[in-house]
Structure 1
Amino acid sequence: MAPGQASDGPDPQERGEATRDGVISSLGWDALKSRVANCTDCKLRAGCTQTVFGVGGERAQWMLIGEAPGADEDRLGEPFVGQAGKLLDNMLAAIGLRRGENAYIANVLKCRPPGNRNPEPDEVAACSPYLRRQIAVIQPKLILALGRFAVQTLLETDASIGSLRGRTHSYAGVPLVVTYHPAYLLRNPPDKAKAWADLRFAMQTVASLG
């Protein structure tokens, strides 16, 4: 290409990202798990104990998505453990759901950010193809987004959870309902009533889908 001549195609980095996304989008479940377990595509893997893929059945009708693993999740390799996990399990039980059975639980990120800091854009970009592939394989009827970061990341918005509650949104072609993160509810017990209203709305949404 002559000096000063503009390129007609994507740059090498864009081509590499497109190739990576294409490979991930074609993986089966076991291959996807293996790819995540061995992923070093962002800096987080070097600082965490293990990746946290998710937990639940491959054909779960509900998929719950949080932000990222914390210290307990990093240690145990499962999302939403500890006190927040217990509260989430109780919330699910109240509407007839159970982790590992008819509800699949995952996070936007598969690795714990150091010090539980907010995930950075390049980390989200590296992990997003994994989450999209999980959704494509599971084909849930509904996604329940848990907490501000997950909600704003999935919906690509800066809007507050309060302004997004009570409406059906969409991510990767799947209806999405927002609610508060269980850890937030532990710190703000009065908002548990709002979370219960969100769960009832989510149930109504699923029922309307047939």
Structure 2
Amino acid sequence: MFLDTLDDTGLIVRVIDSLLDSLVDQQKLLSCLVGRPVALALNLSPRLLNDPPFCRGLLKRLLEGQFQTGSLILELTEDTLTHELAEANELLQQLKNLGARVALDDFGVGQASLNHLRQFPFDLVKIDRDFIRNVISDSNDASLVQAIIHLAHAFDMKVVAEGVETKGQLAFVQNLGCDFIQGYLIGMPLSAEQAQECAAVDQASGGLFEPTEFLVD
């Protein structure tokens, strides 16, 4: 609700822009601690996507090399891409050309058509947790998840299964060739400080911990 209020009032633009300054530093620190790049995922609301100063600032950060290539993931829900599609596509392509990756978030529950997968330069498709929740017991959900994975791979996109909470769900999506897993079974959300502590323990123990993503939601 708090973030929704910020978005509705337009304050989200200033908040996220300011937050990115500190997150860039945290991302670099964590990457150094674990010895490999850690991605920063930023959810782009319609307000952010359609704010020219914010988008120019994001392009500037990429031009200045604040993010390693591929380490900034821009996540958009299906409902974000309902207006000014040509302009949105051009912006996303510019961001990709500068090294960002683009993800279609919560796929399957919004208003997107298959044309969105063809039209926009997505690198990742994230299957909404609503389809994963009953994937073992509901044959319709199982068929949909299988179809989404095959479709995304046909477009040369990687797939993330959201909301994986049981070993059965994990085995199911792995058997279908899902590329990445997200959910409480894999790990609970961590603050930046907690992630740094885990990274330090990981380095001392030989490298079992693999943080991959900060999420700015």
Name the TM-score class by shorter chain: 0.3 to 0.5
Task: Using structure 1 for the length normalisation, give the TM-score.
Answer: 0.32
Q: What TM-score results when the alignment is normalised by the length of structure 2? A: 0.31
